């Protein structure tokens, strides 16, 4: 009896030690694996349809990966490069006191603040310069590590391919090792899938679309740095009650100040219709019956995720929070039953 207990204890220690080593080995690749898993869950219906069409898992997974690269990865890469260029240019202009757009907007906002709070000292130009300096520094870090970025992309694509092709096998293997009941395992997996769809589709994709549409409107009406401002509007779309107005409102003020009334009215209409209706129209379609998480949690999850994981935290932060809420929801149902 004692010998059997010792064998069991020794095996448990050996298992925990090997698990620790496996975690240490896989930890440097956590970000590409996590993002690949997220995209695989989102795009799985496309892969499932492709597999039913071509009757071959390998070809279906390959076609889905290529389609994802063309539709998602390449456009995001191009937009990222354009944002990086505009950010660097705007930082140079602000530090040299050149840009008319930012100076007019900042001066107007500062005058309004001084009118209602005369004792408050505020220098938006200085704050903007510091923020842009931080962004430029992080962008330079990304491009300085080009080899590591390419490696991460390569590993992410390979992982994405195998998760599409063999993801169900991985899940079945994990569930056989789990001490939970089959009903609990099914419930957790379904909740996690719904959470990923809700968080990524319902919050992040809609915010990206709002940022893109806002950027298109800014470019149409001749606003400088339209791509950068559109990306800021996309981040602002995650802020409850504020949304893309964090960019569109100052832009309208700027257009009125420079007496471009046609563009100002056009931007007002564009912001309230083309940008504003995206959430109302697409949210029910993209999310469906997904798990609902308050936008405030999503917003702080994005900020915290970026602080911890870098730019990948834009997706990973909300997913970690969504994972927690999914487990919390399952636990609450278990307690109540």
The token duo for 279 is: 């959430």
SS3 of 158, please?
helix
Q: Which of 15-19, 127-131, 202-206 has the highest mean pLDDT?
A: 15-19
pLDDT tens sequence across 37-63: 888 888 888 999 999 888 899 999 999
Across the range 165-194, mean pLDDT stands at 79
pLDDT bin (cut points 50, 70, 90) of residue 68 is very high
Domains of the chain, by residue range, sit at 28-177, 180-337
Max distance between CA atoms of the chain, in angstroms, equals: 89
Confidence of residue 106 (pLDDT cuts 50, 70, 90): low
- State the pLDDT at residue 162: 93
Share the mean pLDDT of the chain: 78
State how far the Cα of 248 lies from the Cα of 105, in Å rounded to an integer.
11
Asked if residues 272 and 245 have their Cβ atoms less than 8 Å apart, the reply is no
CA angle 245, 246, 251 (to 5 degrees): 80
Six-digit token string for 158: 């390979």
Q: Looking at residue 202, what DSSP letter applies?
A: I
Structure tokens at 218: 């800014």
Phi and psi at residue 273, in whole multiples of 5°? -110, -70
pLDDT per position as a tens digit, 245-268: 888 888 888 888 788 888 889 988
pLDDT in the model for residue 178 = 73
In whole angstroms, how far apart are CA 128 and each of 90, 108, 220, 237, 294? 10, 15, 24, 19, 29
Provide mean pLDDT across the span 202-211: 81
């Amino acid at each position: 009896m004692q010998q059997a207990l010792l064998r069991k204890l020794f095996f448990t220690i050996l298992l925990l030690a090997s698990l620790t080593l496996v975690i240490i080995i896989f930890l440097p690749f956590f970000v590409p694996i996590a993002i690949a898993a997220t995209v695989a869950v989102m795009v799985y219906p496309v892969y499932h349809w492709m597999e039913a069409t071509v009757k071959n898992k390998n070809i279906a997974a390959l076609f889905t990966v290529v389609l994802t690269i063309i539709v998602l990865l390449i456009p995001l890469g191009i937009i990222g490069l354009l944002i990086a260029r505009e950010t660097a240019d705007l930082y140079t202009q602000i530090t040299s006191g050149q840009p008319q757009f930012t100076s007019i907007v900042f001066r107007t906002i500062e005058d309004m603040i001084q009118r209602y709070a005369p004792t408050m000292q505020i220098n938006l130009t200085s704050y903007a310069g510091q923020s842009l300096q931080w962004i430029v520094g992080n962008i330079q870090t990304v491009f300085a590590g080009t080899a590591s970025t390419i490696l991460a992309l390569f590993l992410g694509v390979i992982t994405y391919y195998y998760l599409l092709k063999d993801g169900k096998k991985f899940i079945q293997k994990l569930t056989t090792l789990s001490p939970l009941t089959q009903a609990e395992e099914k419930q957790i997996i379904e909740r996690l899938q719904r959470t990923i769809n809700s968080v990524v589709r319902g919050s992040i994709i809609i915010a990206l679309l709002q940022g893109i549409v806002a950027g298109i409107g800014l470019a149409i009406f001749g606003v400088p740095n339209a791509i950068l401002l559109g990306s800021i509007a996309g981040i602002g779309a995650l802020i409850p009650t504020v949304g893309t107005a964090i960019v569109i409102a100052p832009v309208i003020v700027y257009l009125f100040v420079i007496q471009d009334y046609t563009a100002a009215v056009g931007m007002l209409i564009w912001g309230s219709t083309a940008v504003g209706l995206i959430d109302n129209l697409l949210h029910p379609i993209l999310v469906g019956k997904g798990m609902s998480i308050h936008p405030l949690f999503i917003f702080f999850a994005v900020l915290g995720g970026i602080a911890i994981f870098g730019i990948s935290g834009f997706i990973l932060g909300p997913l970690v929070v969504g994972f927690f809420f999914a487990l919390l929801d399952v636990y609450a149902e278990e307690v109540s039953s």
